Amino acid sequence: MTSFGRTGNGGHEGLPRLLAGLEPGGAPMTMAAHTRIHGPLPSVSPQQLIEEVEQSGLRGRGGADFPTARKLRAVAGRRRVGPVIVNGSETEPASAKDRLLLARLPHLVLDGAVLAAGAVGASEVIVKIGSDTPEVVRALESATAVREHERIGIQVVSGPDGYVAGEESAVVHYLNGGGPLPTFVPPRPFERGYRGRPTLIQNPETLAQLALVARFGSAWYRELGTVADPGSALVTITGAVAAPGVYELAFGTPMRDLLDAAGGPSEPLQALLVGGYFGTWMDASAAVGLRLAREDLRSVGCSLGSGVLIALGESACGLHESAGVIAYLAEQSAGQCGPCVFGLRAIADSVGALASGVAGPRERDRVLRWASEIRGRGACHHPDGAVRFVESSLRVFGHEIEGHMRGSCRARPAGLPLGDGAARVRGGRLSDRRKSGDASRTVTA
Amino acid sequence: MSATLRVNPITCEAHGLCAELLPELIRLDDWGYPILDESEVPPDLVGLARRAVDVCPTLALLLDEN
């Protein structure tokens, strides 16, 4: 029987794991280096792999946080299983971790995909990526070339960008020849996905973690993190920090250590956006004493989502930044469902008015009413994420609405005219960011 | 014997006939799209629910009876 054992890939306190051997600014890791660092692709039965993943407590890293073993089981054992889809779309603007994995550590992700394919009975892998990522395309092309001898074929498909294009059903719809738009579920991809067949679709980081669990086992995986939140996570830390980038950290790490890993705050912070545009704001003072853990984040209305942390400095205006984000989210609606199309547009206009100081508490109440009515009424979770974001914006920055009506804004001294220009703070508006962060910076803590 | 209503939000085009027939369960938002505050249909309204499903011009209203 296969035995799971460690090789020497521990660094400081067991990190890095996924990012072991990665050289800053370097080329994609070769198969030879990958094998030297992590060991060869293990031979493991489907049953063993799924059980080990289950024991590890690994959960999906694309944002939905769904238990990975449960997803594997849902597909395994079905007839005519379709290809495993590696969802490398990464449409969350501030996230860079998936692009980092695919461009610099392709064999780790492909190992995971191939192992998952074996576990669920798939004979192919499709890596779905976005449109403007030549370094990812190059890395995947050479990685798949050296893996040609493998039983499981690997194909790379690139598709249009757009916020909702990375949603599971949108990826499947696109690969089936439709637009990159979410579909009404059920059925979900695990029942009817690629060409109507049961399809496993996973985030690249989830598969990278799986590739290591398959080698070293669930007990090893649980050596980091906490009982409730085991393992490590890739977090894209950006905004008002000295060294924005992708960092690998253990779950349970104090939030302030996360910020220190990214060089520390570049100015005093007023808030943190946890989970990217699909996430929620928390007050910076609330971060004191919190750890990177589900329960801690939930206590302040947050969740890690796709692993994005944006620090907002004191010199920025949270209302303006939020107005920019919600305008982006409204514009990125797939345009298929009335409540999302009309509701988000109305909310975006109102939040813009609040940020510009031309609307007050009544407008805010209207926004909250719309938010509660729109929730759950789209075909996908885009409107849900957007309203959750808006509600958190009003919770954290709502006290500034009255000040804005009087013409005062943090990003401008009191008395100067507000308007779009007020949001031009250090580093630009949040919503101007596309693929922010220096993905080559990979210091771990 | 229970029955639940659902709306396919992609197919729905806010004709509003469902809310006309079944105001007890369906109301319209500010843009004319249906809100189901309660998806569980009481037995005495199942007949009306079936009519509402039949009358929807885009077949967006769905009734799951089991």
State how far the Cα of A403 lies from the Cα of A248, in Å rounded to an integer. Answer: 40
Kindly state whether residues A83 and A117 are assigned to the same domain. yes
**Looking at chain B from residue 2 to 41, which residues have their Cβ under 8 Å from any Cβ of chain A?**
7-14, 29-33, 35
Kindly state whether residues A49 and A125 are assigned to the same domain. yes
Nearest to A293 by CA among A257, A246, A245: A257
How many domains in chain B? 1
Averaged confidence pLDDT in chain A: 90
Residue A34 lies in a domain: yes
Q: How confident is the model at residue A300 (pLDDT cuts 50, 70, 90)?
A: very high
What pairs with residue A281 in β-bridges?
A: A273
Residues of B in contact with A337 (CB under 8 A): 9-10, 12
The pTM (predicted TM-score) of the whole model is 0.89
Mutate to test the interface with A, among B8, B15, B31, B64 (most CBs of A within 10 A): B31
Residue A10 lies in a domain: no
Q: What's the pLDDT at A185? A: 85
What six digits make up the tokens of A437? 């962060």
Q: Does residue A336 sit at the B interface (CB-CB below 8 Å)?
A: yes
Kindly state whether residues A259 and A199 are assigned to the same domain. no
Residues in chain B: 66
Q: How confident is the model at residue A201 (pLDDT cuts 50, 70, 90)?
A: very high
* A319 vs B37: which has the higher pLDDT: A319
List the CATH number of the domain containing B18: 3.30.70.20
- Give yes or no for residue A417 having a pLDDT over 90: no
- Give yes or no for residue A378 having a pLDDT over 80: yes
Range of the domain at B50: 3-65
Q: What's the pLDDT at A28? A: 96
pLDDT digits (tens, 9 = 90+) for A424-442: 333 345 665 443 333 333 3
Kindly state whether residues A329 and A299 are assigned to the same domain. no
Q: Does residue A384 sit at the B interface (CB-CB below 8 Å)?
A: no
Mutate to test the interface with B, among A373, A380, A381, A387 (most CBs of B within 10 A): A373
Instruction: Tell me the DSSP string of A360-392.
Output: -HHHHHHHHHHHHHHTT-SSSSHHHHHHHHHHH
- Residue whose tokens read 């649980």: A222
Q: Does residue A337 sit at the B interface (CB-CB below 8 Å)?
A: yes
Q: What's the pLDDT at B8? A: 97
Instruction: Tell me the DSSP string of A292-345.
Output: SSHHHHHHTT---TTTEEEEEETTS-HHHHHHHHHHHHHHT--S--HHHHHHHH
Domain stops at, among A221, A247, A272: A221
Provide the residue-wise pLDDT of chain B in tens; the chain has 66 residues.
689 999 999 999 999 999 999 999 999 999 999 999 888 999 999 999 999 999 999 999 999 998
Residues of A in contact with B29 (CB under 8 A): 339, 343, 373-374
Cα angle: A412, vertex A413, A418; to 5 degrees: 45
Q: What is the mean pLDDT of residues A73-86?
A: 97
Q: What's the pLDDT at A186? A: 86
Query: Is A338 close to B9, i.e. CB distance below 8 A?
Result: yes
Q: What's the pLDDT at A438? A: 36
Q: In this complex, which of A346, A370, A378 lies closest to B9 when CB atoms are compared?
A: A378
Q: What's the pLDDT at A302? A: 94
pLDDT digits (tens, 9 = 90+) for A113-133: 999 999 999 999 999 999 979
- Residue pair A242/A225 in contact by the 8 Å Cβ criterion: no
* HSE (side-chain half, CA atoms, 13 Å) at B56: 26
The string over A259-274, giving b where at least 16 C-beta atoms fall within 10 Å of a residue's C-beta and e elsewhere, is bbbbeebbeebbbbbb
Q: What's the pLDDT at A326? A: 96
Range of the domain at A365: 318-430
Nearest to A34 by CA among A170, A146, A179: A146
How many domains in chain A? 3
ipTM given for this complex: 0.95
- Residue pair A400/A359 in contact by the 8 Å Cβ criterion: no
State how far the Cα of A393 lies from the Cα of A398, in Å rounded to an integer. Answer: 7
Q: In this complex, which of A183, A336, A373 lies closest to B29 when CB atoms are compared?
A: A373
Residues of B in contact with A377 (CB under 8 A): 7, 9, 33, 35
Instruction: Measure A176 CA to nearest chain B CA, in Å.
Output: 18
Q: Does residue A298 sit at the B interface (CB-CB below 8 Å)?
A: no
Kindly state whether residues A26 and A136 are assigned to the same domain. yes
Instruction: Tell me the DSSP string of A180-225.
Output: S-----SSPTTTS-GGGS---EE-HHHHHHHHHHHHHHHHHHTTSB
